[in-house]
Structure 1
């Protein structure tokens, strides 16, 4: 195995696209290390190799120990690392973006900074979630009201479909066990979706904090994106898991969600949805390009001296 100092830095052209990666890989009770550009998981049963560039999010469960070199390769390949407790999923850190372009985050900041365009993106998000309704002209309060009604309708519909009794959404932050089986499943699915959305957002170079519906939190945009798929994927998967019984409900929900995400190709769709919402549809993963801002919204090449005086 070569040393870190001898390895060349990876560029976006070397990396697997976010849409083509596994949604997440879960590990527990093992030592996570590095072998070339793969991570290894070693436990009493032996060593498993996992190509790091194929991972969207690495979930590190109870009993895991991670070496510095393993975290280094995850950062180099743009994979997110998430430490997972037995009672839920919490996002702690991520690798660098898979793009060197600032186009998406600049478009996000521009749309977010203007009240009119921020509302326009919020309406577009609502249209993605509920394509049979036209949100044009709706105020934010009206959007929130309609979203609330549609989510309640989804809970009732999934209860009728699966036969799982539904008595309302009950969740106490930090207390996963405070709630019946279906509420625990919904919480597990939601937390996983937040982590996946966060991983996709950071891999695209966007800001997780600049939300268009949620606000005031470092993960506001991640909450926005995860909610795009709540009624279609997260809630139905949770009810399906709850219908099978209460045993190991958190882990079963996460595994079922992983399978559903793979089946639907959600990562590919999530990337496209973010690009379309922000109006940046090009896939620029080329070499580093650094420009200097000039007057009238123009940009000029960097690495040049623009002093009009001759000499240095």
Structure 2
């Protein structure tokens, strides 16, 4: 007599491993487990439900069952280029919440509310209140000057030759070591941040500082943590580079700093805090709207995860 297994329940983002990379293997579900099978037939089990984001590098193939399982447990699959420095596509780990999407859109479309949100982002990023009576464009200019100065200071600290942030998206290998390290590091941060944004029930494309990109809001949120986490790692690896796989060293450093700074514990509460700066409540459903015929059971994961 067979026994039915209980339904899968997503684990909250804060309780997960941040990110892992997979290359040169076939990903499938065998005996109920998410596994990677290499060219020699060796299986490696991946605890898919305990990972926020899985980066799939060139040489990987994903079965339909594996993609479906990742979606059910709320794990974001991201298809990236070699060394993880290009983000090609991602598989949404859950269903975004319409109430939160409308709340986010209302904040982004009203210039006064948008400015309040941007000011909160600035305060969290730099640890101080931004100058009063400044527009979003003026705050962006102040931010840009501080960012350039921070790059220069880190380059000096780690003895890295620095000519500025410069890379060609069509030819990554043409960039210098420091820029390639930065690209690898920020790709890690963007993957983890996108997983958190989706898990919280918001839209990656609806940004406040960035706009016009599929990940505009992801860039907004990632910038809050970038110079606290991954940018110093990139310069440290670039300064110590003596050959070998520096992209791997960057990824390992990012994984460690995500754990040390408890990043996954912080992203979703910080998103809520940032949006709350607009001082409005999420909109209520229309009075004549039709609710679900079969209410969803209460899930154990984050708000954006499917039950």
**Shorter-chain TM-score range:** 0.7 to 0.9
Map of 1:15 onto structure 2? 10
Quote the offset at 1:195 in angstroms: 1.9
Matched, 1:92 2:85: no
Quote the offset at 1:36 in angstroms: 5.4
Map of 1:284 onto structure 2? none
Map of 1:26 onto structure 2? 21
Partner of 2:89: helix, strand, or coil? coil
Among 259, 262, 280, the residue aligned to 1:262: 259
Number of corresponding residues: 283
Matched, 1:78 2:68: no
Root-mean-square deviation over aligned CA pairs: 2.5
Map of 1:293 onto structure 2? 286
Q: Report the CA distance shift for 1:101/1:168 in structure 2 as closer, same or farther (over 3 A).
A: closer
Among 17, 33, 37, the residue aligned to 1:38: 33
Quote the offset at 1:7 in angstroms: 6.9
CA contact (8 A) 2:207 2:216 kept: yes
Map of 2:173 onto structure 1? 177
Among 110, 113, 137, the residue aligned to 1:114: 110
Unaligned runs of 5+ in 1: 281-290, 304-312
Matched, 1:247 2:240: no
Q: Decide which structure has the larger Cα Rg and report it.
A: 1
**Once the two structures are superposed, what CA deviation does each residue of 1:92-130 show, in whole Å capped at 9, x if it has no partner?**
122332x77544323212211211101110111011111
Kindly report which structure 2 residues correspond to 1:90-169, keeping only aligned pairs within 5 A, or say none: 90-97=87-94, 101-169=97-165
Unaligned runs of 5+ in 2: 278-283, 294-307
Q: Report the CA distance shift for 1:180/1:96 in structure 2 as closer, same or farther (over 3 A).
A: closer
Map of 1:306 onto structure 2? none
TM-score by length of 2: 0.84
TM-score by length of 1: 0.83
Quote the offset at 1:264 in angstroms: 1.2
CA distance in 1, matches of 2:93, 2:80: 20
Partner of 1:24: helix, strand, or coil? strand
CA distance in 1, matches of 2:202, 2:208: 13
